[in-house]
Amino acid sequence: MISLASLSHGLIAESLRAVGCAAAFAVALATCCWEGPRAVAADPGVAADDCDLARKVDIMRGPRWQQAIAELRGWFDTQTIHAPAEVRRIKVRFNERVAAMSSYEIEYLLDSISQKMDLLNTPQAQDAKAWLGEYLAAMSDARRARELRAVPNLLEMNAAELLQEIQRIDRKRGALQQRQQGVESRQNALVDRAAANRQASADAARATAERLRATPAQAPAGQGGGKPPFSDVPQRQMSIGVGPMGAFIQM
């Protein structure tokens, strides 16, 4: 003969397989109320499991859990760190973890989520989140994947680990900004040096042009210069000027 407790246990198992965790919770809650003291006397272990399941349902229907999950969902909707496919994988793993937890583990998880959401709402964490999203967005897919290996899953960290990760990202941001400032300083120095060199070249060209203007290009005939080698051809006049490339002589 099949006992009432065995029947209720079978109903719970079948519900888990057929319609998932949420429906099974409802079956368990109804079964606890239906069986009464006779089920407890028949199989205390099954009754304890059913009562823990009912307690788990109460926690997950409560306002604290609903608020924590809503905040968590909002964080995932606005973050730019994980790709959509990775977010889906994280959520699936989280659902699987929650389904396997006891009511006391759910309570601990709820406290941990609340502490982490408080940390994520601080200005330091929000700045780190925004910067990391921009930093990763500028990378190639391969490099982004390598960088993300060093970023732990939010749902698998406790509050202390999350704080350490926020501080690590903040330190990395400061170091990269310092390095960028150094690069910009060197670039500005090179630009200034190039401008100074151009100015020096222009000054030298101007001085050369002025010197050439003050010096006769050809000595007059009969004053030491003599006649040109071919006096039977017209002689070109020479002029001196200054252009973008410096001084020049035009024949």
Give the model's pLDDT for residue 66: 96
Q: Taking the complete model, does pTM exceed 0.75, yes or no?
A: no
10 Å CB burial of residue 172 (0-12, 13-18, 19+) is middle
Residue 210 clears pLDDT 80, i.e. is over it: no
Average pLDDT, the chain: 75
CB 173 within 8 A of CB 128: yes
Place of tokens 């368990």: 28
Question: Which of 68-72, 184-188, 216-220 is predicted with the least confidence, judged by mean pLDDT?
Answer: 216-220
pLDDT band for 168, please (50, 70, 90 cuts): confident
Give the model's pLDDT for residue 93: 93
Give the model's pLDDT for residue 126: 87
How far apart are alpha carbons 27 and 21 in whole angstroms? 10
Give the model's pLDDT for residue 61: 95
How far apart are alpha carbons 113 and 106 in whole angstroms? 10
Give the model's pLDDT for residue 49: 79
Give the model's pLDDT for residue 244: 64
Question: Which of 29-43, 58-72, 103-117 is predicted with the least confidence, judged by mean pLDDT?
Answer: 29-43
Residue 174 clears pLDDT 60, i.e. is over it: yes
Residue 81 clears pLDDT 70, i.e. is over it: yes
Nearest to 72 by CA among 154, 164, 157, 163: 154
Please count the other Cβ atoms lying within 10 Å of the Cβ belonging to residue 60: 18
Q: What is the dihedral of CA 20, 25, 28, 30, to 10 degrees?
A: -120
Locate the DSSP E strands across the chain.
239-243, 246-250
> Is 218 or 151 the better-scoring residue by pLDDT?
151
pLDDT in tens, 124-157: 888 888 888 888 888 888 888 888 777 777 888 8
Give the model's pLDDT for residue 17: 39
Which DSSP letter does residue 79 get? -
pLDDT band for 107, please (50, 70, 90 cuts): very high
Residue 39 clears pLDDT 60, i.e. is over it: no
Question: Which of 21-25, 40-44, 184-188 is predicted with the least confidence, judged by mean pLDDT?
Answer: 21-25
Give the model's pLDDT for residue 1: 42
Residue 229 clears pLDDT 80, i.e. is over it: no
> Is 73 or 242 the better-scoring residue by pLDDT?
73
Place of tokens 């390598």: 146
pLDDT band for 241, please (50, 70, 90 cuts): low
Residue 100 clears pLDDT 90, i.e. is over it: yes
Q: What is the dihedral of CA 13, 17, 23, 26, to 10 degrees?
A: 0
> Is 60 or 22 the better-scoring residue by pLDDT?
60
Question: Maximum CA pair distance of the chain?
Answer: 144
